[in-house]
Structure 1
Amino acid sequence: MIAGLPLAMAMAAGALVMLGGVLLVARLLPAQVDLADALVRLTPSRHQTSAEATDRAATGKERLGVWAIRVLPPGMWVRTPVRELALLRISLAKFYGDKLTFAVIGLVSPSLLAVFFEVLGIGFPLVVPAFASVALAVVMFFMPNYNAVDEAKKARVEFARALGAYIDLVALERNNGSGVRQAMEAAADVGDSWVFQRLSEELGRSRWSGLPPWDALHALAEELGLPELDDFADIMRLSGEEGAAVYTNLRARSAAMRTAMLNAEVAQANAVGERMTIPGSLLGVIFMALLVAPSLLRMFSGT
């Protein structure tokens, strides 16, 4: 048992050396700079924002993410869910820090398990923990992508549900004689959920910047990938620029959104109900097998 410890320690050291080699090769690779991103980062406002973001990176993962953004080549991230991160308000530094942390955990965990099993006297060939380390590191590296997409999907459903109530409130404000901006801001101040707070922030920013509120919501819908918010902004544009009466349109839009969400929930419930029939069918098959098995056994034993 003790004789196998040097081999296990050598395997763990080899995993750490391999990690250092990967980071060294990534550092030496030529970086493919995105021209548009570089031009944006060279502007004074963007430079100041990046510096402030770096100063706010207080946690270890965010510091690791800031280092990764500066040092590692952009191509190694494969795909970054920008819209999902913007919707969840997760910074790129934290997201990249999570990816590297998960990858390191996946790279080291098989070696530590190999050491544990070696201490117990259960040895594995060297290729098994080596292959498991690489495979698990790759899987864990993409785990934050899956988490971000899944959480953003749930957040979009919540946003659409709250947006339906917000549209009704805007319609009531417009019906009471409020202006377009006043109706949108007053409706956003009613709720205290993160959806209403996000809408209130965008409307307040548009007021100080002189941007029409529907243009601000258009930009927010494009940034977060929210087509329902984009449709609402189009309706408010008609009301603000052409003076159209939009009470009926707003109420019809909110009713259509609720109907669509209800149909989606009914379809999901039906799918879950169909899946629930599978265990019941299996239980019926097992019960029939238990009833038939004694007769079959007697028949075969008699022959």
Structure 2
Amino acid sequence: PGAATVLASVADVSVGPTLPVVATAVLVVVGFVVPDMEVRAIARERREEFVHALSSFLDVTAVLLAGGAGTETALHAAAALGDSWPQQRLRAALDRCRLTGQTPWEVLADLGDRLEIGELSQLATSLQLAGEQGARVRVTLAARARALRASQLAAVEARAHAVTEQMSVPVALLAVAFMLFVGFPAVWVVVGAL
């Protein structure tokens, strides 16, 4: 805004005091909103990536439990298999569990709260119920993994449907433009003959 004001005065164009103030206010708002929207979009993508990795983590944990491993051993072994950032976060949380003496569901619930991933908090609740009430952990984890996959599939289908709906307007406009392109010469000849 300041440079624009200087250029306007050099070009001998009269600029009132409100233009620089309004331009500055607009640029400040844009400078705040755009990066904020970008960060929120990145966070949303990272959460989706974490939920996808969590589904795989639960599948591996269920397989290890079916093979006779204990709950904590299966959780730690499943977290140790991957190198992605979600696996690293799960591994770090479960390592903290060993060091502090907390239960796995407590550290997973804490991680879910910090990352704002509801599926992880729900997993922690399921693990807590299974651990305290002696329920079959493997069945619980397998059911949670199936539910996560179903949720992910529904989200993908919803996004695909939304994209399909967005494409209907451009296709309709293209069809109208094509009809005008093809039909205009014929209409012009008929109108010219009258």
TM-score (norm: length of structure 2): 0.87
Contact 2:93 2:108 in 1 (8 A): yes
Match of 2:82 in 1: 191
Alignment of 1:49-64 (within 5 A): none
- Structure 2: runs of 5+ lacking an equivalent: none
**Out of 119, 123, 135, which is 1:232 matched to?**
123
3-state SS of 2:36 partner: helix
3-state SS of 1:142 partner: helix
2:48 matches 1:174: no
Match of 2:30 in 1: 139
The aligned amino acid for 1:247 is R
After TM superposition, the structure 1 stretch with the greater mean CA deviation from structure 2, 241-250 or 186-195, is 241-250
The aligned amino acid for 1:283 is L
Q: How many aligned positions are there?
A: 193
Q: Cα offset for 1:270?
A: 1.9
Provide the alpha-carbon RMSD of the alignment.
2.2
Q: Runs ≥4 in structure 1, deviation > 6 angstroms? A: none
Q: Deviations over 1:221-276 (max 9, x none)?
A: 12222111112112222333333222122112211211221121112112212222
Q: Cα offset for 1:116?
A: 4.4
The aligned amino acid for 2:58 is I
Q: Cα offset for 1:301?
A: 5.2
The aligned amino acid for 2:119 is E
> Structure 1 CA distance, aligned partners of 2:168 and 2:111?
43
The aligned amino acid for 2:169 is I
2:176 matches 1:285: yes
Q: Cα offset for 1:145?
A: 2.5
Alignment of 1:118-267 (within 5 A): 121=11, 123=13, 125-126=15-16, 127-267=18-158
- Structure 1: runs of 5+ lacking an equivalent: 1-109
Contact 2:8 2:15 in 1 (8 A): no
Contact 1:166 1:187 in 2 (8 A): yes
> Structure 2 CA distance, aligned partners of 1:238 and 1:245?
10
Alignment identity in percent? 36
Q: Cα offset for 1:277?
A: 2.5
> Structure 2 CA distance, aligned partners of 1:122 and 1:182?
77
